[in-house]
A and B are shown apart, each in its own frame.
Chain A
Amino acid sequence: AQTVTQSQPEMSVQEAETVTLSCTYDTSENNYYLFWYKQPPSRQMILVIRQEAYKQQNATENRFSVNFQKAAKSFSLKISDSQLGDTAMYFCAFISGNAGNMLTFGGGTRLMVKP
C-alpha cells in the first residue's frame, strides 16, 4: 500500500516571499502520478499541479512549481511570490498508474500567508 507523508502540519510565509511545502511518499511502483491539492477555508479541493513519475522535468504552473526527486520519493511544492489567497490547507496526493484509481492523500500542511 502506498503512503503519503507531509511532515509540516503548519507553515507561514510573508506575502510576496517564497515557501516550500514538503511531501514524501512510499511505493514500490514505477508508474504513478503525484498531485498537490489546495483546500481554502471554503473546503473545496482545488488541483494545483500534477507530476507524472516518468517525466524527469519538474512541473510548473505559474507561481507553483514542484521539486520531484523520484529516487528519494520526494515531491515538494514551491510557491513563489506568495499571495494572501494562497492561505489554505495543501494536500499532497498519489495515484497509481498501473491499477486502481484511488487518490491517497497526505495529512496536509496548513499554510498561512501573512500581509
Chain B
Amino acid sequence: EPEVTQTPSHQVTQMGQEVILRCVPISNHLYFYWYRQILGQKVEFLVSFYNNEISEKSEIFDDQFSVERPDGSNFTLKIRSTKLEDSAMYFCASSVFTGTYEQYFGPGTRLTVT
C-alpha cells in the first residue's frame, strides 16, 4: 500500500542553523501539507501546497519557514534559522482532491533544537 515517507526520522540541530525536512508524498496525490506537534500538545497545521504554490498557511508559518517541491516526488520544509521553540515532531501529509479530504500522514521527523 502506498505511503508517505519522511527523512530523517530524527534531526538534531543547533539554534540558528538551517534545517530541511524531506517528504515523499503518495505518488498520485495533488495536495501536500506540513503539520507540527510540540511534545504533549495538539497537532497544528503549518501549510498546504498545491500546483507548486502555497494554498494556505497558518500564523505559525512565518518568514522563517518555506516549502518547496524541487522535483516530481519530494516535498520539503525549510526552517532558515531554528529556534529552541521549533523543537517538535513535524508531519508531512498528502491527499487526493477527490472531495473526501482524507489526508495521509508520514511517520514524522523529530526535530530537536539545542
Is B114 an interface position by the 8 A CB rule? no
- Chain B residue nearest to A100 (CB atoms) is B56
Complex-state Cα separation, A45 to B106, whole angstroms: 7
By a CB distance below 8 angstroms, the chain B residues around A100 are 48, 56
Where chain B touches its partner, the secondary structure class is strand
**B85-114 residues at the A interface, CB under 8 angstroms:** 89, 91, 93, 95, 99-108, 110
By a CB distance below 8 angstroms, the chain B residues around A108 are 42
Is A78 an interface position by the 8 A CB rule? no
The reply to whether A102 and B107 contact each other, CB–CB distance below 8 Å, is no
Complex-state Cα separation, A47 to B41, whole angstroms: 19
Is B31 an interface position by the 8 A CB rule? yes
Binding site for B on A (CB under 8 A): 33, 35, 37, 42-47, 50, 91, 93, 95, 97, 100-108
User: 13 additional contacts, CB 8 Å, given A45-B43, A97-B99, A101-B95?
Assistant: A44-B106, A44-B107, A44-B108, A47-B103, A50-B100, A93-B43, A100-B48, A100-B56, A101-B33, A101-B55, A103-B43, A105-B43, A106-B42
Binding site for A on B (CB under 8 A): 31, 33, 35, 41-45, 48, 50, 55-56, 58, 89, 91, 93, 95, 99-108, 110
